[in-house]
Amino acid sequence: MIESLHEECGVFGIYDSEGAAESTFLGLYALQHRGQEGAGIVSTDGDRMYEHKGMGLVAHVFDEDSIARLEGKAAIGHNRYSTTGLPRVANIQPLLVDCRVGKLALAHNGNLVNARELRSQMEATGSIFNTTMDSEVILHLIARSKEETLDSMIVDAVQQLRGAFSVLLLTKDSLIAVRDPQSFRPLCMGVKGDATIITSESCALDIIGAEYVRDIEPGELVIVDERGIRSRKAFEPQQQAKCIFEFIYFSRPDSKVFGENVDKVRRKLGVVLAKNHPVDADIVISVPDSSNTSSLGFAQASGIPFEIGLIRNHYVGRTFIQPSQRLRDGTVRLKFNTVDGVLKGKRVVVVDDSIVRGSTMKKLVAMLRKAGAKEVHLRIASPPVKFPCFYGIDMPSRSELIASSTSVEGIRQYLGVESLEYLTIADLRSVVDDPDHFCNACFSGEYPIPMASGLNKSVFEDSAVA
Amino acid sequence: MIESLHEECGVFGIYDSEGAAESTFLGLYALQHRGQEGAGIVSTDGDRMYEHKGMGLVAHVFDEDSIARLEGKAAIGHNRYSTTGLPRVANIQPLLVDCRVGKLALAHNGNLVNARELRSQMEATGSIFNTTMDSEVILHLIARSKEETLDSMIVDAVQQLRGAFSVLLLTKDSLIAVRDPQSFRPLCMGVKGDATIITSESCALDIIGAEYVRDIEPGELVIVDERGIRSRKAFEPQQQAKCIFEFIYFSRPDSKVFGENVDKVRRKLGVVLAKNHPVDADIVISVPDSSNTSSLGFAQASGIPFEIGLIRNHYVGRTFIQPSQRLRDGTVRLKFNTVDGVLKGKRVVVVDDSIVRGSTMKKLVAMLRKAGAKEVHLRIASPPVKFPCFYGIDMPSRSELIASSTSVEGIRQYLGVESLEYLTIADLRSVVDDPDHFCNACFSGEYPIPMASGLNKSVFEDSAVA
Amino acid sequence: MIESLHEECGVFGIYDSEGAAESTFLGLYALQHRGQEGAGIVSTDGDRMYEHKGMGLVAHVFDEDSIARLEGKAAIGHNRYSTTGLPRVANIQPLLVDCRVGKLALAHNGNLVNARELRSQMEATGSIFNTTMDSEVILHLIARSKEETLDSMIVDAVQQLRGAFSVLLLTKDSLIAVRDPQSFRPLCMGVKGDATIITSESCALDIIGAEYVRDIEPGELVIVDERGIRSRKAFEPQQQAKCIFEFIYFSRPDSKVFGENVDKVRRKLGVVLAKNHPVDADIVISVPDSSNTSSLGFAQASGIPFEIGLIRNHYVGRTFIQPSQRLRDGTVRLKFNTVDGVLKGKRVVVVDDSIVRGSTMKKLVAMLRKAGAKEVHLRIASPPVKFPCFYGIDMPSRSELIASSTSVEGIRQYLGVESLEYLTIADLRSVVDDPDHFCNACFSGEYPIPMASGLNKSVFEDSAVA
Amino acid sequence: MIESLHEECGVFGIYDSEGAAESTFLGLYALQHRGQEGAGIVSTDGDRMYEHKGMGLVAHVFDEDSIARLEGKAAIGHNRYSTTGLPRVANIQPLLVDCRVGKLALAHNGNLVNARELRSQMEATGSIFNTTMDSEVILHLIARSKEETLDSMIVDAVQQLRGAFSVLLLTKDSLIAVRDPQSFRPLCMGVKGDATIITSESCALDIIGAEYVRDIEPGELVIVDERGIRSRKAFEPQQQAKCIFEFIYFSRPDSKVFGENVDKVRRKLGVVLAKNHPVDADIVISVPDSSNTSSLGFAQASGIPFEIGLIRNHYVGRTFIQPSQRLRDGTVRLKFNTVDGVLKGKRVVVVDDSIVRGSTMKKLVAMLRKAGAKEVHLRIASPPVKFPCFYGIDMPSRSELIASSTSVEGIRQYLGVESLEYLTIADLRSVVDDPDHFCNACFSGEYPIPMASGLNKSVFEDSAVA
Q: In Å, how far is C239's CA from the nearest CA of chain D?
A: 28
In this complex, is the C-beta atom of B133 within 8 Å of any C-beta atom belonging to chain D?
Answer: no
Q: Shortest CB distance from C253 goes to which of D18, D263, D339?
A: D339
Question: Quick check: is D395 in a domain?
Answer: yes
- D196 φψ region: left (φ > 0), alpha (ψ -120 to 50), beta (else): beta
Domain of residue B72 covers 6-241
DSSP string covering B243-285, please? ETHIIIIIS-TT-EETTEEHHHHHHHHHHHHHHHS----SEEE
Cis omega (within 30 of 0) for bond into B186: no
| Closest residue in chain A to residue C157, using alpha carbons only | A126
In this model, does residue A171 exceed pLDDT 50? yes
Partners of B208 on chain A (C-beta within 8 Å) are 327, 330
| Closest residue in chain A to residue C136, using alpha carbons only | A128
C32 and C115 housed in the same domain: yes
- Report the alpha-carbon distance of residue D388 to residue D385 in Å, rounded: 8
- Whether A and C touch, i.e. at least 3 CB pairs below 8 A, reads as yes
**Each residue's pLDDT tens digit, A181-196:** 999 999 999 999 999 9
**Each residue's pLDDT tens digit, D87-130:** 567 789 999 999 999 999 999 999 999 999 999 999 999 999 99
- Give residue C194's pLDDT band: very low, low, confident or very high (50, 70, 90): very high
Q: What is the predicted pLDDT for the residue at D227?
A: 95
CB atoms closer than 10 angstroms to residue A101? 18
- Whether D and A touch, i.e. at least 3 CB pairs below 8 A, reads as no
- Report the alpha-carbon distance of residue A163 to residue A186 in Å, rounded: 14
In this complex, is the C-beta atom of C86 within 8 Å of any C-beta atom belonging to chain A?
Answer: no
Yes or no, beta carbons of C100 and A123 under 8 Å apart: yes
Q: What is the predicted pLDDT for the residue at A319?
A: 44
- Report the alpha-carbon distance of residue D436 to residue D434 in Å, rounded: 6
D408 and D374 housed in the same domain: yes
Contact of C262 with C413, CB cutoff 8 Å: no
What whole-number percentage of chain D has pLDDT above 70? Answer: 90
**Each residue's pLDDT tens digit, A37-68:** 899 999 999 999 999 999 888 988 999 889 99
Average pLDDT over residues A415-426: 98
Yes or no, beta carbons of B327 and A252 under 8 Å apart: no
Average pLDDT over residues B135-154: 97
Average pLDDT over residues B372-388: 97
Partners of D41 on chain B (C-beta within 8 Å) are 466
In this complex, is the C-beta atom of A182 within 8 Å of any C-beta atom belonging to chain B?
Answer: no
Residues of C designated as active site: 9
Yes or no, beta carbons of B70 and D130 under 8 Å apart: no
- Give residue A392's pLDDT band: very low, low, confident or very high (50, 70, 90): confident
| Closest residue in chain A to residue C141, using alpha carbons only | A126
Yes or no, beta carbons of C100 and A130 under 8 Å apart: no
Average pLDDT over residues A292-300: 97
Partners of C98 on chain A (C-beta within 8 Å) are 119, 123, 128-130, 460
In this complex, is the C-beta atom of B206 within 8 Å of any C-beta atom belonging to chain A?
Answer: yes
Contact of C368 with C426, CB cutoff 8 Å: no
Question: Quick check: is B259 in a domain?
Answer: no
- Whether D and B touch, i.e. at least 3 CB pairs below 8 A, reads as yes
Question: Quick check: is A246 in a domain?
Answer: no
Question: Quick check: is B442 in a domain?
Answer: no
Partners of A307 on chain B (C-beta within 8 Å) are 296
- Report the alpha-carbon distance of residue D94 to residue D91 in Å, rounded: 9
Helices (H), D149-202: 150-158
Q: Which of A52-61, B147-156, B446-455, D292-301 has the lowest mean pLDDT?
A: B446-455
Yes or no, beta carbons of A50 and C466 under 8 Å apart: yes
Q: What is the predicted pLDDT for the residue at D453?
A: 47
Contact partners for chain A, using 3 or more CB pairs closer than 8 A, are: B, C
Average pLDDT over residues D366-388: 97
Q: What is the predicted pLDDT for the residue at D329?
A: 56
Hey, is B59 helix, strand or coil?
helix
Question: Quick check: is A460 in a domain?
Answer: no
Q: In Å, how far is B311's CA from the nearest CA of chain A?
A: 7
| Closest residue in chain B to residue D51, using alpha carbons only | B465
- Chain A to chain C Cβ contacts (< 8 Å): 126
Interface mutation vs chain D, best among C254, C300, C351, most D CBs within 10 Å: C254
In this complex, is the C-beta atom of C347 within 8 Å of any C-beta atom belonging to chain D?
Answer: no
Yes or no, beta carbons of D341 and C261 under 8 Å apart: yes
Question: Amino acid identity, residue C310?
Answer: L
Residues A412, A413, A414, A419, CA torsion sign: positive
Yes or no, beta carbons of C337 and D252 under 8 Å apart: yes
Partners of D68 on chain B (C-beta within 8 Å) are 466
Residue with more model confidence, D217 or A80: D217
Instruction: State the burial class of residue A433 (Cβ atoms within 10 Å of its Cβ: 0-12, 13-18, 19+).
Output: exposed
- Whether C and B touch, i.e. at least 3 CB pairs below 8 A, reads as no
Q: Shortest CB distance from A465 goes to which of C51, C90, C466?
A: C51
Hey, is A111 helix, strand or coil?
coil
Q: What is the predicted pLDDT for the residue at C117?
A: 95
Partners of C48 on chain A (C-beta within 8 Å) are 461, 463-464
In this complex, is the C-beta atom of B30 within 8 Å of any C-beta atom belonging to chain A?
Answer: yes
- Among D206, D241, D276, the domain-final residue is D241
Q: Of all helices (H) and strands (E), which one includes residue B96?
A: strand B95-99
D369 and D227 housed in the same domain: no
Q: In Å, how far is C275's CA from the nearest CA of chain D?
A: 19
B20 and B73 housed in the same domain: yes
Give yes or no: D9 in active site: yes
Mean pLDDT over each residue of chain D, to the nearest integer: 91
**Each residue's pLDDT tens digit, B68-111:** 999 999 999 999 876 544 556 778 999 999 999 999 999 999 99
Yes or no, beta carbons of D127 and B129 under 8 Å apart: no
Yes or no, beta carbons of B126 and D96 under 8 Å apart: no
Contact of C234 with C220, CB cutoff 8 Å: yes
Average pLDDT over residues B306-314: 93
In this model, does residue B449 exceed pLDDT 80? yes
D269 and D161 housed in the same domain: no
Closest by CA to C133, choosing from C464, C466, C459, is C459
CA distances from residue B114 to B154, B219, B454, D267, D461 in whole angstroms, order as listed: 17, 17, 9, 64, 33
CA distances from residue D87 to A87, D3, D55, D455 in whole angstroms, order as listed: 32, 21, 8, 20
Yes or no, beta carbons of A466 and C130 under 8 Å apart: no
The count of domains in chain D is 2
Instruction: State the burial class of residue B368 (Cβ atoms within 10 Å of its Cβ: 0-12, 13-18, 19+).
Output: buried
C387 and C301 housed in the same domain: yes
D118 and D37 housed in the same domain: yes
Helix B359-370 with B408-415: angle, nearest 10 deg? 50
B289 and B235 housed in the same domain: no
Q: What is the ipTM of this complex?
A: 0.91
Residues C106, C111, C117, C120, CA torsion sign: positive
Domain CATH code at residue B32: 3.60.20.10
C 39-68 near D (Cβ less than 8 A): 57-60, 62-64, 67
Backbone phi, psi, residue B230, to 5°:
-120, 145
Contact of D34 with D200, CB cutoff 8 Å: yes
Residue with more model confidence, B465 or A37: A37
Q: What is the predicted pLDDT for the residue at C327?
A: 56
C237 and C272 housed in the same domain: no
Question: Quick check: is B76 in a domain?
Answer: yes
- D104 φψ region: left (φ > 0), alpha (ψ -120 to 50), beta (else): beta
- Report the alpha-carbon distance of residue C31 to residue C37 in Å, rounded: 13
Closest by CA to C127, choosing from C115, C143, C113, is C143
Interface mutation vs chain A, best among B201, B318, B321, most A CBs within 10 Å: B321
Q: What is the predicted pLDDT for the residue at D456?
A: 41
Yes or no, beta carbons of C130 and A97 under 8 Å apart: yes
Contact partners for chain D, using 3 or more CB pairs closer than 8 A, are: B, C
Domain CATH code at residue A339: 3.40.50.2020
- Report the alpha-carbon distance of residue D22 to residue D77 in Å, rounded: 11
**Each residue's pLDDT tens digit, B257-289:** 999 999 999 999 999 999 999 999 999 999 999
In this complex, is the C-beta atom of C206 within 8 Å of any C-beta atom belonging to chain D?
Answer: yes
C233 and C364 housed in the same domain: no
Partners of A266 on chain B (C-beta within 8 Å) are none
Question: Quick check: is C388 in a domain?
Answer: yes
Q: In Å, how far is A248's CA from the nearest CA of chain B?
A: 16
C27 and C160 housed in the same domain: yes
Backbone phi, psi, residue A337, to 5°:
-135, 150
Q: Which of A35-44, B427-436, C42-51, C443-452 has the lowest mean pLDDT?
A: C443-452
A189 and A271 housed in the same domain: no
| Closest residue in chain C to residue A92, using alpha carbons only | C90
In this structure, the dihedral spanned by the alpha carbons of residues A424, A430, A434 and A436, taken in order and rounded to 10 degrees, is 30
Contact partners for chain C, using 3 or more CB pairs closer than 8 A, are: A, D
D 303-322 near C (Cβ less than 8 A): 305-308, 311-317, 319-322
Question: Quick check: is A247 in a domain?
Answer: no
